[in-house]
A = this chain, B = another copy of it.
Amino acid sequence: MEIEQYMQALGGQARAASRRLSRASTADKDQALMTIAQEIRTQAKVLKSENTLDLANGKEKGLDAALLDRLELTDSRIEAMAEGLEQIANLPDPIGEISNMRYLPSGIQLGQMRVPLGVIGIIYESRPNVTADAAGLCLKSGNATILRGGSEAIHSNQAIAQCIQSGLKQTDLPVEAIQVVETTDRAAVGELITMSDYVDVIVPRGGKSLIERISKDARVPVIKHLDGICHVYIDAKADLAMAEEIAFNAKCHRYGVCNAMETLLVDSCVAGDILPRLASRYQAESVELRGCERTQAILTGISTATDEDWDTEYLAPILSIRIVDGVDQAMDHIHQHSSAHTETIVTEDQAVARRFLAEVDSSSVMVNASTRFADGFEYGLGAEIGISTDKLHARGPVGLDGLTSQKWIVLGTGQVRT
């Protein structure tokens, strides 16, 4: 009950702040971002000493090395947080943008104006730099934010929150524009994702289990990204040299990222030619290969890809390979197993490329390019709050625009309906 009251109070303050923020000038928002960046630099020592507490607690609790690494605030990570805020300040302000103004037969002028969503709840796990990063994106897009980080990063998050608060205090913006939940009680999350009077959208950032849990219980819309089970399909008419580079890059450029390829589909006409070449490159990088029966006939000695493999996001140097007969079978496989994140086809056949582009129902669909391009920075958005695998509202990489809404505006000179 105490938690509920606490969260409701944060919500009411966020709602009030969001009205102020929605009409804040670009100059005021940018100045606030620059001031917070400067506070983060000034307080680097404090941030690191608070972070040390989290790291010590983490070690005591037996957190694994990867988690401890994500939790750590180094000098370069602190500088990157500050620079990230400055970069956000330098992006164009999406708010107030008016588009599609046109005259209608009744004489009214109709257009759309981009406006903030209102209050955004961000729930994340161990990486404390998300606090500054997400807060910055929300502030620039005129939204109030309530941030709830992982309990393992509570000291670091509170220290970053202090920087944000003292930065905001030096501006005309309300300090409640960005609030960090101070309790590690899990009930706070339950309250945050259900108080629809105060919160307009939830953005969870973290592992699949966190996101599934939040999506299941939320009564507020969620912009989410579950899985990245991305496919590369090498068509019968592919340029095989190009296919080799794309399939190699999509798997081996980085393993632990959502836009890495997890399954390679190869047309049976070219499998005998391309697979041995690719396999030797993968094996040189110690990528474990798992194949369907037909793949195993070409790449002898690799293990069997089970039904589970086709549905697994490895995020690791493992690749499942399936030989298919043509683009229809490839698309059937994708529709059945893809997480609707990113798929690419390698082909010189324009008709086949056109079908793949139109019919594959993923947030990014590519022709002759590596899946690794599915990213807000590569797409020129200037920032990214996440990659949405939902179809409504924001789809694919979500930048500042994804944190906004478009309302209709009508300008008249006294028009009435007749």
Q: Lowest 6 A-B CB distances belong to which pairs?
A: A369-B412, A249-B416, A242-B414, A366-B410, A372-B417, A392-B393
Q: Which of B113, B239, B370 touches A415 (beta carbons < 8 Å)? A: B370
* Contact yes or no, B391 A358, CB < 8 A: no
Query: A14-31 interface mask toward B, CB cutoff 8 Å, 1 = contact, 0 = none?
Result: 000001001100000000
Residues of chain B within 8 A of A357, CB atoms compared: 113, 409
The total of chain A residues at the interface (CB under 8 A) is: 67
- Nearest residue in B to A362 (C-beta to C-beta)? B407
Contact of A411 among B363, B369, B409 (CB under 8 A): B369
With a CB–CB cut-off of 8 A, which chain B residues contact A242?
413-414
The stretch that binds B, out of A47-55, A103-111, A263-271, is A103-111
The complex places the Cα of A113 from the Cα of B357 at a distance, in Å, of 9
Interface of A is mostly: mixed
At the interface, yes or no: A228 with Cβ under 8 Å from chain B? no
Residues of chain A at the chain B interface (Cβ within 8 Å): 19, 22-23, 96, 102, 104-106, 108, 110, 113, 115, 117-118, 200-201, 221, 239, 242, 245-246, 248-250, 253, 335, 344, 355, 357-359, 361-370, 372-374, 378-380, 390-393, 395-397, 405-417
Q: Please, how many angstroms separate the alpha-carbon atoms of A409 and B414 in the complex? A: 43
Q: Would A373 and B106 count as touching, CB distance under 8 A?
A: yes
Complex contacts, A96 vs chain B, CB 8 Å: 358
CB atoms of A23 and B358 under 8 A apart: yes
Q: Is the CB of A391 within 8 A of B118?
A: yes
